[in-house]
Amino acid sequence: MGSYNCRKLSFFLKILSEENRLRLLKELSKKENCVCDLVKSTKLSQSLISHHIADLKDFGLIKGREVGPRTYYSLTRKGQKVVQILGEVEV
């Protein structure tokens, strides 16, 4: 398995195990979105989306780009790779 920090990996997997975070990653894999667009497409509250975005940003899965008063979020390379791997998993 190579050398890695088991504690960090465990926390990373916990981040990915939350259904709403997976939904946000899926939406962001389609196109760049602001929080208001994510509210419409996921039917989640703005505060919940903002909380999940912070967690996903902390792990380097998404990044933000400010345009006026809005921030548009998209997947990082790491986020794209994670979404690709998750898409290959058959459940």
Model confidence at 19, in pLDDT bands (50, 70, 90)? very high
> Which domains can be identified in the chain, with CATH numbers?
19-88 (1.10.10.10)
Residue 52 is predicted with a pLDDT of 97
The predicted-structure confidence for 22-53, as pLDDT tens digits, reads as follows 999 999 999 999 999 999 999 999 999 999 99
Spell 6-38 as b/e; 16+ CB within 10 A means b.
eeeeeebeeeeeeeebbbbbebbbeeebebebb
Q: How far is CA 59 from CA 41, 55, 91, in A?
A: 23, 7, 24
Q: Which residues, listed in sequence order, are joined to residue 73 by a DSSP beta bridge?
A: 33, 64
